[in-house]
Amino acid sequence: MALTNTQIEIKYNSLNLNRVVVGDSVVVSIGTQYFAIIINIKPDHRENKLWAYLKSSNKMCPVRADIADCQRIQNII
């Protein structure tokens, strides 16, 4: 069954409660906390999740995380 663009947007907004977007600096909390930048967001329709693909200065940290585990960092300049 194909979804319309409106249905996709509603589903995306319901899964992305933290309202993070590509290019945001985030703190990822998955057991430990680390800083990263979101480089891509992809849906997983089977598990009903959004995955954030990340770039971090620490090479030991995962490059993929559930978007619910990402909190945006507010830049105060």
Strands 64-66 and 32-44: unpaired
Percent of the chain with pLDDT over 70: 96
**pLDDT tens for each residue of 60-77:** 899 999 999 999 998 766
Query: What's the pLDDT score for residue 76?
Result: 67
Q: With 0.85 as the threshold, say if the pTM is over it.
A: no
What are the domain boundaries of the chain?
5-72
Task: Judge contact between 13 and 21, C-beta under 8 A.
Answer: no
- Please, which pLDDT band fits residue 1 given cuts at 50, 70 and 90? low
Query: What's the pLDDT score for residue 50?
Result: 94
* Overall CATH class of domain 5-72: mainly beta
